[in-house]
Amino acid sequence: MVYHSSFVDEEGITKACGCPLLPLKSHIKGPAPVSDQDTTDIVDEAITFFRANVFFRNFDIQSAADKLLIYLTFYINVALKRIEGCRTLAEGTKAVINLGLEKVPVPGEPGFPFGGLFAPPESLQEAVIQILAI
């Protein structure tokens, strides 16, 4: 059984390129709202469901949050591949930090892995929000 996101209520949620900007447990200021530290956010869900969801070839998208869950599952997979050859915690930490600093293609750009999943940005402002969110 594929695990879907619990963030199905789309009312009042800002979107960029069809991707919801859901609350995150973070001290870093960005376009996403801040979540309480004791609640589950979309990143927690992606980590929790990662092991089960990677085994499925098809994923029935039920909400915009499921699109974000798919993207985060892909990102976790990329991060795990980056740390695969690391021998120490310091090397692994550096590899993941460097991954976070790389330029990431956004919807509508060549190299974006999910061309049909997210709409291209309608404005420069929406593209900037999407870049900051990823």
State the CATH number of the domain containing residue 108. Answer: 1.10.1760.10
In a domain, 6, yes or no: no
pLDDT value at residue 10: 66
In a domain, 80, yes or no: yes
Higher-pLDDT residue of 87 and 21 is: 87
In a domain, 10, yes or no: no
Q: How many domains does the chain have?
A: 1
In a domain, 106, yes or no: yes
- Please state the rounded mean pLDDT for residues 101-105: 86
In a domain, 9, yes or no: no
- Please state the rounded mean pLDDT for residues 92-102: 93
In a domain, 1, yes or no: no
Domain range enclosing 60: 15-133
pTM assigned to the model: 0.82
In a domain, 84, yes or no: yes
In a domain, 60, yes or no: yes
Question: Pick from 44, 34, 95, 97: which is nearest to 68 by CA?
Answer: 44
How far apart (Å, rounded) are the C-alpha atoms in residues 107 and 84? 28
pLDDT per position as a tens digit, 7-20 = 877 677 888 777 88
Question: Pick from 93, 46, 100: which is nearest to 72 by CA?
Answer: 46
Length of the chain: 134
At residue 134, does pLDDT exceed 60? Answer: no
Most confident listed range (46-50, 56-60, 86-90, 112-116)? 86-90
